[in-house]
Amino acid sequence: MCPLAGVHPRICLDLSPANAQGIGYPPQFNARIGVVERLCQAADALPPSIRLLIKETHRPAQLQTAYFARRVRRTQAEQPSLDHLSAESIAARFVAPPLWLVILPAAQLTSR
């Protein structure tokens, strides 16, 4: 993980208390190096008067798991005929699944 602070003059971080309250935790503003590189490329491509404002980056695992679980429940409520794995697959289109879901083999997932 790479800190975003100071990586580009046109990338700003929202360090405000209101932002931390809005997302539910104090953001750390760290990202994978590839993400940082793409953000810098995007900032370079913007008109000179425009800057990027980063509100959130890498979330705590517990929070990401809660967001994903909430999306799975919403998907199941909207499409009650779906089995759990299908609901997770659809939810993953909108919210990144927690790491444990990504790295577990499918056989382990079906036994949950």
User: What does residue 52 show for φ and ψ, rounded to 5 degrees?
Assistant: -90, 135
| CA–CA dist 88, 106 (Å, integer) | 12
| CA–CA dist 101, 98 (Å, integer) | 6
User: pTM here?
Assistant: 0.66
What integer pLDDT is reported at residue 112 of this predicted model? 47
Mean pLDDT of 51-76: 92
* Ramachandran category for residue 105: left, alpha or beta (phi over 0 → left; psi -120 to 50 → alpha): beta
